[in-house]
Amino acid sequence: MTATLFEGITARRIETPRYIANVLERPAADPAAPTASVVFVHGNVSSALFYQPTMLALPADVRALAIDLRGFGDSETKPVDAARGLRDFADDVRGVLDALDLDAVHLVGWSMGGGVVLQVALDAPERVLSLTLESPVSPYGFGGTHGPDGARNDADGAGTGGGGANPDFVARLDAGDTTDEAQTSPRTVYRTAYVARPETQTPHEDLWVASMLTTKTGLDNYPGDAVGSDRWPGFAAGTRGVLNTMAPQHLDLSGIVDLAVKPRILWIRGEKDAIVSDASFFDLNQLGALGVIPGWPGEEVAPVQPMVTQTRAVLERYAANGGEYREVVLPEAGHAPHLDEAEVFDRELATHLGF
């Protein structure tokens, strides 16, 4: 049985007015006087457990914390109001910071967590010393937009949100499936979509799969609800649950370009990312274009979302308006560069944070 926590990492439950959060911590060598606090926010279908190696790699005088979002890890399961975009999660993060008496911190967000930390910066910029966006969701959400400026494909977000989840994958999450017997098993999804070099993670693979299996399923959590649509593929985003938080009608983080005070941003991603890219295998329009999903109506009606291009366009505007960002592309990494190329990731993160 793989140990849940690495040596040097502790876990505790923090009660906030919003939810009871499970928080991992790698304390500073002198807990009474840390030089800085770095807070990690995990992505979808994962938990804070994924960030343990990165937490341990930080300098000893730094306090490292990782938060389980609602419905993930060992945190309380509460409904996710997708009509608020990612704000339920962002407000939860701020609630944890309040409970821990942390005023301003360095925020690191992976995938959906990248969107969460951007939302924190939008709503409470005074709480953010710096941002690290690891393989982040596009500022315009996941699916349903086109062009560098995130123009909406349609009004209802056809093909996005809760209806886009593979039902067998959801069922296997719910059943706690640890096998690799199918393309839809969490272990297979981890090996083929989360990392580009699964062989380097063999000692910890069981733990990463266990982390994925903490995802709470249902209409109010993962994946969320769906509504019918007259447009291909016949459904659109609902207003409940995780995947709908990133539907284009609910999420637009491009407002960061207008922040009065702009924290420094490190954007770090893997060249082999299968989830967040300009040709994502998780974008239903891309699967339609490839013929995997039949009946695709064509590029004019259902264009593929250029996720990386959209992020770069927003960050270029951020820089033009007085901000600072740096893009780092790791050539042998997939969606989880902190695992695939850990040494490089850790070094780039430390450089960005000024450690």
Strand positions, DSSP E, the chain: 10-15, 20-26, 36-41, 62-67, 105-110, 128-134, 145-146, 151-152, 217-218, 222-223, 226-228, 235-237, 264-270, 325-330
Q: How many CB atoms lie within 10 A of CB 300?
A: 8
Q: How many CB atoms lie within 10 A of CB 227?
A: 16
Q: Each residue of 281-306: pLDDT tens digit?
A: 999 999 999 999 999 999 999 999 99
Cross-sheet strand order for the sheet of 62-67: 10-15, 20-26, 62-67, 36-41, 105-110, 128-134, 264-270, 325-330
How many whole angstroms from its chain centre is CA 27? 24
Q: Closest by alpha carbon to 296, among 284, 278, 306, 305? A: 284
CA angle 337, 143, 125 (to 5 degrees): 65
173 phi and psi, to 5 degrees? -60, -45
pLDDT grade, residue 355 (50/70/90)?
Answer: confident
Q: Please give the DSSP secondary-structure letter assigned to residue 194.
A: I
- pLDDT of 157 higher than 60: yes
Residue pair 337/270 in contact by the 8 Å Cβ criterion: yes
Query: Given this model, what pLDDT does residue 45 score?
Result: 98
Element (H, E) at 54: helix 52-57
- pLDDT of 1 higher than 70: no
Q: What percent of the chain has pLDDT over 70?
A: 99
Residue type, 56: L
pLDDT grade, residue 3 (50/70/90)?
Answer: low
Three-state DSSP at 172 gives helix
Q: For residues 256 and 314, what is the distance between their CA atoms, to the nearest angstrom?
A: 8
Q: Closest by alpha carbon to 286, among 304, 308, 312? A: 304
Token pair of 105 as six digits? 């911190």
- pLDDT of 68 higher than 90: yes
CA 351 to each of CA 61, 123, 130, 139, 354: distance values in angstroms, whole numbers, following the listed order: 15, 26, 12, 24, 5
Q: What percent of the chain has pLDDT over 90?
A: 98
Q: Which residues contact 165 (CB under 8 A, 6 or more apart)?
A: 222, 223, 243
CA angle 135, 139, 315 (to 5 degrees): 80
Token pair of 95 as six digits? 């609630």
- pLDDT of 2 higher than 80: no
Q: Each residue of 317-339: pLDDT tens digit?
A: 999 999 999 999 999 999 999 99
Dihedral of CA atoms 112, 54, 46, 152 in degrees, nearest 10, equals: 10
